[in-house]
Amino acid sequence: MSWSGIIAAYRPLLDVAAIEPITLLEGNTPLIPLPRLARALNLEGVDLRAKYEGLNPTGSFKDRGMTAAITQAVADGAKSVICASTGNTAASAAAYAARAELKCVVLIPQGKVAAGKLAGAIAYGAQVIAIQGSFDDGLRMVREISATGKIMLVNSINPYRIEGQKTSAFEICDALGSAPDWLCLPVGNAGNITAYWRGFKQYHAIGKVTNRPRMLGVQAAGSAPLVLGHAVDKPETIATAIRIGRPARGEEALMAKDESNGHILAVTDNEILEAWKMLAEIEGVWVEPASAAGVAGLRKAAQQHPADFTGKRIVCILTGHGLKDPDAVIQRAPAPVEIPAELHALEDAIGVSG
């Protein structure tokens, strides 16, 4: 059967308007085994897999939420949509708004959005506004302007975003035949962890699975309000996607942690970069830095509580594609070796001469 997007696939389980979906055929992403990474992290007997959400149409998991939010916006007669974004929401909103013939306005924190995301938002025809402030400032502004009723908010405060994003939990259960023991993912504005937990609970409640995972939410140490227990006014991290100090769904994230007997922890930028490099170099899976936070958090949690992880089935959510943030690689690597266009120079360079 051909794939027609997440709304068509899971319509009876989703609270979204019953019109023809605005879709780019998002979802149905692969669950990739990571046996080499499991060995490198000394995860004994662990079945480790990655749900590679970077393979969605605009390169991130946001497309699942956006097909639902934009479909609902059309059903509700909206003419324009707005969001604040660290980049991925902006690109996704812009693409789905284009298909729905809606005007799209995106607010981004000036200088803090990765190149591939900014380029996407522009390419899809959104009006891009850089604000002299953080994502949190932008979110406050779009909440205020959408309260006037003149423009529809498509950040994950919008309940249809969560409805769409919970379908990834369904896909994981469908692929495995049960829920995993652990689900590890990065946490920024906390919409995604809220969505996954809702999805797992719903699948359990209707008898599709008999278990639910423990949730491991991971924040960057410089932007870790849910770990610190208070808002962060000047969030910082190399993982710009999760550079968020006042998560809109923070309370729900903490509930997901408590109800699932999980954890929310912080990892340093160095720990994120180590996990990010391992994913690419050991498993051939290149993600944007924020997306490696779940793996970095798993590594840390398994070092602290090995017995909780030994022999378990663990899924890490890789939220965005590596191509979103090429500078994260280029700026950390030496330039390629340059040689004349001659065979002996090539032999010298790769060490097979003489």
Residues that bind ligand AN7 (CB under 6 A): 60, 85-89, 156, 186-192, 241-242, 288, 290-291, 319-320
Least distance in angstroms from the C-beta of 156 to ligand AN7: 6
- Distance, CA of 247 to CA of 242 (rounded, Å): 10
Rank residues 87 and 213 by Cβ distance to ligand AN7 and give the closer one: 87
Nearest to 248 by CA among 83, 14, 92: 83
For residues 290 and 298, which CB has a smaller minimum distance to ligand AN7 in the complex?
290
CB of 183 to ligand AN7, least distance (A): 13
Helix (H) or strand (E) holding 51: strand 47-52
Identify whether the C-beta of residue 188 lies closer than 8 Å to the C-beta of residue 319.
no
Whichever of 94 and 278 has its CB closer to ligand AN7, that residue is: 94
CB-nearer residue toward ligand AN7: 74 or 121: 121
Least distance to ligand AN7 from the beta carbon of 187, Å? Answer: 5
Of the pair 178, 242, the CB lying nearest ligand AN7 is at 242
Q: Which of 70, 122, 68 is nearest to 96 (CA)?
A: 70
* Nearest distance, CB of residue 257 and ligand AN7, angstroms: 13
Of 89 and 237, nearer to ligand AN7 (C-beta) is 89
Residue 139 backbone dihedrals phi, psi, to 5 degrees = -65, -40
C-beta of 76: minimal distance to ligand AN7 in Å?
22
Task: Report the alpha-carbon distance of residue 62 to residue 28 in Å, rounded.
Answer: 14
Mark out the alpha helices in 76-224 (DSSP H runs).
88-100, 115-123, 135-146, 159-165, 167-176, 191-205
Output 167 or 192, the one with its CB closest to ligand AN7. Answer: 192
- Please report how close the Cβ of residue 18 comes to ligand AN7 at its closest, in angstroms: 26
- Residue 315 tokens read as 């899924």
Instruction: Evaluate whether 196 touches 317 at the Cβ level (below 8 Å).
Output: yes
Residues with Cβ within 8 Å of residue 88, at least 6 apart in sequence = 58, 59, 60, 61, 62, 117, 241, 319, 320, 324
* Least separation in angstroms between CB 186 and ligand AN7: 4
Closer to ligand AN7 by CB, 152 or 307: give it. 152
Looking at beta carbons only, is 43 or 187 nearer to ligand AN7?
187
Continuous segment of H or E residues that includes residue 148: none
Burial 28-49 (b: 16+ CB within 10 A, else e): bbeebebeebbeebebeebbbb
Answer whether 189's CB lies under 8 Å from 46's CB: no
Q: How many of the other CB atoms lie within 10 Å of CB of 148?
A: 7
Least distance CB 165 / ligand AN7 (angstroms): 8
CA distances to 266, 333, 334 from 348, rounded to whole Å, are: 45, 21, 19
Question: Of 111, 93, 112, which is closest to residue 154 (Cα–Cα)?
Answer: 93
What are the backbone dihedrals phi and psi of residue 320, each rounded to the nearest 5 degrees, phi first? -145, 150
Least spacing, CB of residue 279 vs ligand AN7, in Å: 13
Task: CB nearer to ligand AN7: give 78 or 239.
Answer: 239
Min separation Cβ 291 and ligand AN7, Å: 5
